[in-house]
Amino acid sequence: MSAPNPQRVKDYLLALQNNICSSIEGLEEEGGFKEDLWDRGGDTGGGRTRLIENGKVFEQAGVNFSHVRGDALPGSATQNRPKLAGRNFEAMGVSLVIHPRNPYVPTSHANVRFFIAEKDGEAPIWWFGGGFDLTPYYGFEDDAKHWHRQAKKACEPFGDNVYNDYKKWCDEYFFLKHRNEPRGIGGLFFDDLNEGGFERCFKLMKSVGDHYISAYQPIVERRKSLPYTDKERDFQLYRRGRYVEFNLVYDRGTLFGLQTGGRTESILMSLPPQVSWRYNWHPEAGTAESELYDVFLQPKDWLA
């Protein structure tokens, strides 16, 4: 069984960031990504943040690569993994959140990552994680089916149950417990992946990363020019509030980054540029807004 190779993972992640940014720029009609290279100092790593702000298609699109190192993990990381205590670590990944301007284009999120913790005289502890999920404001069955077809396609080479397991994990993870509602229509989520050895796990992570654009790009192309009014825009801003709530309360990546002294600007680029909250608001029955809650924000088998 092959040993873990962080450099190969890093090379892939940098290439993935390039490929995703190129595809997103191809969809954007005004401007492109600005790049921000950052360094944490010493030998603690850094990253490459790319951002589109105030575009015609994408109100904000952030695609971040980070590679950080440290001598010790925060208590939150070792509480359930006591074997990690006293080890130095490396964590690297590509994380992105795309907030379109048109309310008929869903927000999307993807992340693929690798973690390794080492200690002299002991075998390294390592794993992969990642996934992608979709957060529509107005539901389209064709979009939901396409998204999940691509998710399943990413998983098919690795076992008959992988898609179903990772879809279920995604539905459970991207759930706002205090609201008792899902964040969106799901997709894939996995973590702590090391079963089957480094090569298998690396290939699975790459497959998930490589299928993100094929899942998202056709949806953007179909919906980005649909006409909308202030009503749809207002609902989009209201629903974005759920995105903020999840990322600040539950998201593991956000919490890990902040607790390990990560770069705050890059960590919080996932938050939408505009958002609104309303007190105890509920959509009117029979509307497209209520359909989002009644149909699309209900975990289901979109490929049945």
List, by residue number, the catalytic residues.
109
Dihedral sign from CA coordinates of 169, 173, 177, 183 = negative
**Dist. CA 57–CA 285, nearest whole Å:** 30
- Taking the C-alpha atoms of residue 242 and residue 244, their distance in angstroms, rounded to an integer, is 5
Neighbours of 27 (CB within 10 A): 20
Residue appearing with tokens 């993807």: 110
211 is in an annotated binding site: no
40 in a known ligand binding site: no
Give the angle subtended at the CA of 69 by the CAs of 63 and 72, to the nearest 5°: 130
**Is residue 282 a known part of a binding site?**
no
Ligand-binding site membership of 19 (annotated): no
263 known member of a binding site: yes
Closest CA to 128 of 92, 101, 153: 92
Neighbours of 76 (CB within 10 A): 12
Paired tokens of 55: 């575009």
Phi-psi region of 295 (alpha: psi -120 to 50; beta: other; left: phi over 0): alpha
Q: What's the one-letter identity of residue 258? A: L
Q: Is 67 annotated as a binding residue?
A: no
Helix (H) / strand (E) element for 185: namely none
- Rounded CA-CA distance 139/294 in Å is 10
Question: What residue spans of 51-161 are helical by DSSP H?
Answer: 75-78, 141-155
d(CA 271, CA 240): 9
**Is residue 233 marked as binding?**
no
Cα of first residue to Cα of last residue in the chain, in angstroms, is 37
Measured in degrees and rounded to the nearest 5, phi and psi for residue 211 equal -90, -5
Q: What is the dihedral of CA 230, 235, 239, 240, to 10 degrees?
A: 0
Residue positions forming the annotated binding site = 95, 99, 109, 111-113, 148, 178, 261-263
Residue positions forming the annotated binding site for a divalent metal cation = 99, 109, 148, 178
